[in-house]
Amino acid sequence: MSDGTASVGIARRPAEDIEATVSSIKTMLKIGAAFAVVGYLLTGSALFFELTQFHPLLDDFFSTYTQTSLAGGGPERSGAVNGALASIHKWLSTLLWLKLGGIAHILLGIFVALAAIVRALSLMPHRLSYEMERTQG
């Protein structure tokens, strides 16, 4: 059995290579943050437009035409009902912004940040070897 003092053979990377990797990690973190910010902006704007523009259309329709469904059925089928239904049905879906745009950007930003963390952790033994050499010498 070994006594635990044997050193593990790690091929040391040059200090310039380590510094280049650190700068690329910083770039990865900036890119991840940018994707996350764009995702939060898309998600927030989708929710904002949904709550400030689409929900008032629905509230107005349901308060005005109480006997009519969104599908258009009911005892009264006038031009006003058709116009209100047309404005509701023409509303662009913000679900695409919310799901694909916002949440996908947030998840991609998190993934890039996690990849940067993994790169930083894989770099730690090399940086530690230089620090140990500096303190011993």
Q: Which tokens belong to 49?
A: 């437009």
- Would you state the pLDDT for residue 18? 83
**Range of lowest pLDDT (11-15, 29-33, 75-79):** 75-79
pLDDT tens profile 114-130: 999 999 888 888 878 77
Q: What is the pTM of this model?
A: 0.66
Report the alpha-carbon distance of residue 84 to residue 91 in Å, rounded. 11
Report the alpha-carbon distance of residue 56 to residue 58 in Å, rounded. 5
pLDDT tens profile 55-66: 888 888 888 877
Q: In Å, how far are 12, 29, 123 from 26, measured between CA atoms?
A: 22, 5, 13
